[in-house]
Amino acid sequence: MEMAFTAQLLLLSSLFLQPVLVHSQTNGSIAVGGSLTATAEGNSSLSWLSPSGDFAFGFRPLGNNDLLLLSIWYAKIPDRTIVWYANNKPAVAPAAPLGSTVNLTAHSGLVLTSPQGEELWKSETIVGVVANGVFNDTGNFVLEDDSSKKLWESFKNPTDTILPGQIIQTGGSLASRQSETNYSKGRFQLRLQQDGNLVLNSINFTTESTNTPYYGTATTTGTVPGSEGKQLVFNDSGYMYVLRENGGKYTLTWGNRVSAMAYYTRATLNFDGVFAQYVHPKTFSGNASWEPLWSLPENICLDIDADSGPGVCGFNSICTLSAADKRPKCECPRGFSLLDPNDLYGSCKPDFIQSCEEEEEHLYDVQLLTNTDWLTPEYARSEEFTADNCSESCIQDCLCGVAIYSNQTCWKKELPLSYGRVDSSLRTTTFIKFRKDNSTLPVPPSPSPDDKKNNKTTFTGIRPVILAAALLVCLVLIAAAFSLGLFFTFQKKQVRIMQSGLNISLRPFSYQELQEATNGFTEELGRGSFGVVYKGIIQNGSQVQVAVKKLHCVIQDGDKEFKTEVNVIGKIHHKNLVRLLGYCDEGQQRLLVYELLSNGTLASFLFADVKPSWGQRMEIAYGIAKGLEYLHEECSTPIIHCDIKPQNILLDDYYTAWISDFGLAKLLMMNQSHTHTAIRGTKGYVAPEWFSNMPITTKVDVYSFGVVLLEIICCRRSIDVENNCEEKAILTNWVYDCYQEGKTDAVLDHETEALLDKKNLEKSVMVAIWCIQEDPSLRPTMRKVVQMLEGVVEVRAPPCPSSYTRSA
């Protein structure tokens, strides 16, 4: 009895000692012959740690069963986020039962075996002899020979996540999981193609072929030699970019930029096809979690279409984008429910039988939705309809599943519906039909012995036409389920907004703090319509360079209004918009604190003695367009900038364009819905409506963008009074004259690189001319501008910009 008690005591003490042994293994070096055994999480299974203890290599549990996953994870975060896992390409991630072992061998590298000795997984074929394993603080597990040559590394065999310091070469890829908890290969991938284009696309499992990308960086050769991408780089500072063959960079990182010393960061291709970068504070308390910084594409619900393979959501479902984290969610309309209740991203089935009996028309009603559509082709289209006509027409049509109404036109579509999405630009009214009494599909009674004997089944109370309809619906659902083989069991990710850690709220500063930070406002960076900008350094644990803007004047109604407007500006985040960090509201002093961009203004970059490259200029123009599109289309209330010009476009380390001063026009007593005598803007960039009795809308920014686009194309200022040639003094007039005479090349002054890209040159000039139309109604929206620059929308020949004034 005493011996048994002693044995139990030793066993119990070993369980308490085990975690201590785990955390003592922090030198990051593993000798050949080392091994780990998969044990229950409750027994604190051993793992190999990186020197800092930030990362762990070992076994993590899979769900609530007794299976585990060989993986690498963040060891100091409570949720132990997995960043790499052993997987059998292209099949499934090997689930290791309890008692499985991973061994580090000299000739086969890492080998995972079951308790019965069956090989479940091993690292790629090793050329050479492994001397030891090195697990470093970047999260990279490396196998080396005795000369420290790398024979295999986890960074070169990524799964769904890329970490700082990691590089993906041409041909390399990330693959999503099937769901949040299913680590088998999912249906989305990120790949740096052989042509240098970084793309996101879906995969056809049956053929392993890829569908048309729903996102791409367009970093291909085109007509500019050396512009193709060769690496996807996630550098140690948390910046991600495609490195071009010619050394140029296509930057992906934007939004909040955080210290690598204070935050963990990763970029993951999520199971729903969204590629996003996340940060997590290294020191935290409470319910701190991963905070998204940016994601691609901007709206996956809209960007995936029929050419891009199956949508994010299944048939009859509606895809909407979460504003907080830009992740999609799927919902069934009224009268529909999930075909598989466990598949939240799957198909929705109607909970009723749709009959074609005339006397049953009164049993149906429609759910009213706005700005919702499915890409399923219509089978009927009617003109000169009202919304009521459209709704009633669908109710009376037994084939109609949904009717879409817009601008006196009614489109009717039948079930099943595919690629449902909410799109605020549609301006549609949608009527989806459902049965009022929620009559569900009938269940046939069990056949009687006589029926079995006569080889027939009786369905009591069901008319033949209803039976036929039921069978038809079943067949449709079976076909839909079969075609949805690509849709697997997803578990909706519950994204929590971070309550501590990354501070995304604005910081209030005292005037004295900013006076000290700017050394008495001595180093002036620039001045404009809204105020003077000074360079400063904020002490925040480390020295942070900032730009401090002293505003000329602000709204006069007190602190509350000022803080309200500033907080609205502070909540705006986009890749191409300068981040507001804080403000000062003290007495008559009103100051704003922005992040400082390293490469100054577009003006100093564009009008220097040496012209920037054509490709770089076009990327800058596209970035400005995207930033304005966000301000006009994506904010809850459209924001009119009112002073778009090169001096208000800043450039970061990678020459990405960042728009500054947005929101200040409203802050400085601007009522942006009516005409004012106080004109806002800068000579040469001001839209004509400022000088007439016309409303001020977002189209004033479109005009200014058109002028800036011409400056980017020509690398010269919009007004050049020092030019000896009078006909070239006004850039907008001169460029249009060149375009009308078929001499677009003349605007480039023999610039070889741009002339090689003549098609893009002509398109960009035409887009600019559309933007500078004096009639605001002729100008495109910024969303249309972006689409034209992307080549998604055809650019038609523009009219003379000043014809509106002449006719008036």
C-alpha to C-alpha distance for 144 and 140, rounded to whole angstroms: 12
Is residue 241 within 8 A of residue 231, CB to CB? The reply is no
pLDDT at 317: 93
Q: In degrees, to the nearest 5, what angle opens at C-alpha 658 toward C-alphas 653 and 662?
A: 150
Residue with tokens 């989806």: 432
**DSSP annotation string for 99-168:** T-EEEEETTTEEEEE-TTS-EEEEPSPPSS---EEEE-TTS-EEEE-TT--EEEEGGGS--SEE-TTEEE
Q: Rounded to an integer, what is the distance from CA 519 to the centroid of its chain?
A: 40
- 783 Cβ contact partners less than 8 Å away, ≥ 6 residues apart: 425, 629, 632, 633
List the alpha helices (DSSP H) in 349-463: 387-396, 449-453
Give the helix/strand (H/E) hosting 690.
none
Is residue 421 within 8 A of residue 308, CB to CB? The reply is no
643 included as an active-site residue: yes
Assigned token pair, 164: 């700082």
Tell me how long the chain is.
Answer: 808
> Which CATH code fits 324-446+461-486?
3.50.4.10
Give the helix/strand (H/E) hosting 326.
none
> Same fold for the domain at 18-157 and the one at 169-310?
yes
Set 643, 661, 701, 775: catalytic member = 643
What is 169-310's CATH number, 1.20.120, 3.40.720, 1.10.3470, 2.90.10?
2.90.10
Phi and psi at 36, nearest 5°, equal -130, 145
| Second CATH level (architecture) for the domain 602-807 | Orthogonal Bundle (1.10)
Report which of 203, 236, 70 is spatially closest to residue 137, judged by C-alpha positions.
236
Q: Rounded to an integer, what is the distance from CA 325 to the centroid of its chain?
A: 9
Q: Is the dihedral of CA 227, 229, 230, 233 positive or negative?
A: positive
> What is the 3 state secondary structure string of 524-585?
EEEECCCEEEEEEEEECCCEEEEEEEEECCCCCCCHHHHHHHHHHHHCCCCCCECCEEEEEE
C-alpha to C-alpha distance for 53 and 114, rounded to whole angstroms: 28
Count Cβ atoms within 10 A of the Cβ of residue 319 and give its class: 0-12 exposed, 13-18 middle, 19 or more buried: buried
> Which CATH code fits 507-595?
3.30.200.20
Q: What letter represents residue 1's amino acid?
A: M
pLDDT at 403: 94
- 359 Cβ contact partners less than 8 Å away, ≥ 6 residues apart: none
Q: Is the dihedral of CA 382, 387, 392, 394 positive or negative?
A: positive
Assigned token pair, 321: 């984008």
Assigned token pair, 379: 């089978």
pLDDT at 358: 56
- pTM of the predicted model as reported, rounded to 2 decimal places: 0.56
In the chain, where the domains are located: 18-157, 169-310, 324-446+461-486, 507-595, 602-807
| Burial letters 720-736, b for 16+ CB under 10 A, else e | beeeeeeebebbbebbb
Q: Is the dihedral of CA 732, 733, 738, 741 positive or negative?
A: positive
The segments of the chain whose pLDDT lies below 50 read 1-24, 42-44, 90-91, 439-504, 556, 669-677, 679, 804-808
Residue 338: strand, helix, or coil? strand
* Class for the domain spanning 18-157: mainly beta
pLDDT at 330: 93
Residue positions in the annotated binding site for ATP? 550
- 370 Cβ contact partners less than 8 Å away, ≥ 6 residues apart: 428, 429, 430
Is residue 32 within 8 A of residue 104, CB to CB? The reply is yes
